[in-house]
Structure formats: C-alpha cells, structure tokens
Amino acid sequence: MENKTPTPHIEAKFGEIAETVIMAGDPLRAKLMAERFLENPVQYNNVRGMLGFTGTYKGKRVSVQGHGMGIPSIGIYTYELYNFYGVKTIIRVGSAGAMHPDLHIGDLVIAMGACTNSNYASQYRLPGTFAPIADFDLTRKAVEAAEEFGFRYKVGNVYSSDIFYDEYSSLADWQKMGVLAVEMEAPALYMNAARSGNRALCICTISDSLVTGEATTAEQRQTGFTNMMEVAFSLI
C-alpha cells in the first residue's frame, strides 16, 4: 500500500486512523459518536468540515468520521481510507426513507445489498452488472446485536440513488422488487471494499416513510438515531 497521506481530503498522517472506522454522512453525527462512545478521542480531520476522530471503545481502537452526502462523496473518503490509511473495516450509519410498509421511524435497516442508479461501477469495466453486497460476518453480527438489544430491524436490499428530488418518482418500481428503503451512499462503500479486499456494512435508521408519510426533523436525525450506533460499535 502506497503511503499518500495526508490526502487532499483527510489531513491525518498514516497511523492516526484506526483499522475500523464508523462513518456518517453528517460530520456532526460523527462528532456525536466521538463524544458518546469514544474514550480519549483525538480529532484528526477538519478538512472541508468533514470531522474525524480516533479513540478507544472498550479498549479497542476505533475511528469515526463524516463522509458527506451521495455516492461521489463517500466514494472519495472510503477509497482514501481503504487504500491510503490501512483501514480494514468501514461501517456506515445513516438515515433512510422507508419503502416497506412494516418499517417505521426509528427502525433499523441492515443493508445486505445495495441497488443503485449510479454508474460508479463503470470505472471497473466489468462485462456485466456488479451486485454490491455487505460483508457477511458483519451483517450476521449486526443482526445478532439488533436481536440482543431488542431493536426493530429488517435485513435486505436498499436503493441508493444519485437523485434526491426525483422528477420521475421511480421509487415505486424499486418497491415492487422488495427493496426496503432508499438512501444515497451504500454501493460506493461496498464497491470500494470489494475492490480493495476489505469489509463494509451499512446500517440505516428510518427517518421518514414513503408509504405512511411519517417524517423527522434534521435535529432528530442528527442527534436521535443512536440505536444504529449501538449496533455498529458492538461489531468492533
């Protein structure tokens, strides 16, 4: 692995980031995780306000960091973490919109697979369609943790869109395929993990429902979705 640190997006030196990183789109959610879960957290990044911290959790070294919104943004940060900082495991915790009638505000979705309308995979010049999936061991342990905590959850496919304001309203077509929820980042994370030979998992909390019309505020999404964090940190 070539040492290209610091990178254009992360100002940490090699060795300042743990082999396991828990990431969130909102850097303030990363800050919340550092304050809530880490012992002796040290900030290693503030480039573009994308906060990153390293500390310990129950004696194990772990980092938390923001990754921004959308596949291009998480694609940059996870590529650099896997390929330049020696990171082996990345767990994303984020919000998602429910597409399944049995999912409600606060429920967890453990993303076993990630469908997408992004052309992120085109860079690999594959002679077909790549199916981005999570690491099985992380998925299994996340299910066990959710069961132990007593959290409501579902496991399955998410749809990761490049489009937030969808002119066509295409989500109904994905819903017919049994897709559980919509978010915006998982495929790039899963593809970068696959390409670098590392591990990844995305755990989302339902913040709104396209079925029932339920919704939450930005503040609730930033500070209130701690169950997915409990599951993520239990995997370390």
User: Domain locations in the chain?
Assistant: 20-234
Side chain identity at residue 63, one-letter code? S
Beta bridge partners of 60: 57
CA atoms of 145 and 233, how far apart (whole Å)? 10
Q: Which two tokens stand for residue 227?
A: 């169950």
Q: What is the pLDDT of residue 2?
A: 59
Other CB atoms within a 10 A radius of the CB of residue 2 amount to 6
pLDDT tens-digit profile, the chain (236 residues)? 557 889 999 999 999 999 999 999 999 999 999 999 999 999 999 999 999 999 999 999 999 999 999 999 999 999 999 999 999 999 999 999 999 999 999 999 999 999 999 999 999 999 999 999 999 999 999 999 999 999 999 999 999 999 988 887 778 899 999 999 999 999 999 999 999 999 999 999 999 998 888 888 777 766 668 999 999 999 99
Query: Which is the catalytic residue, given 26, 107, 135, 208?
Result: 208
Other CB atoms within a 10 A radius of the CB of residue 4 amount to 12
Q: What is the pLDDT of residue 221?
A: 67
**CATH topology for 20-234?**
Rossmann fold (3.40.50)
Q: Which of 78, 106, 72, 76 is nearest to 92 (CA)?
A: 78
Active site residue 135: no
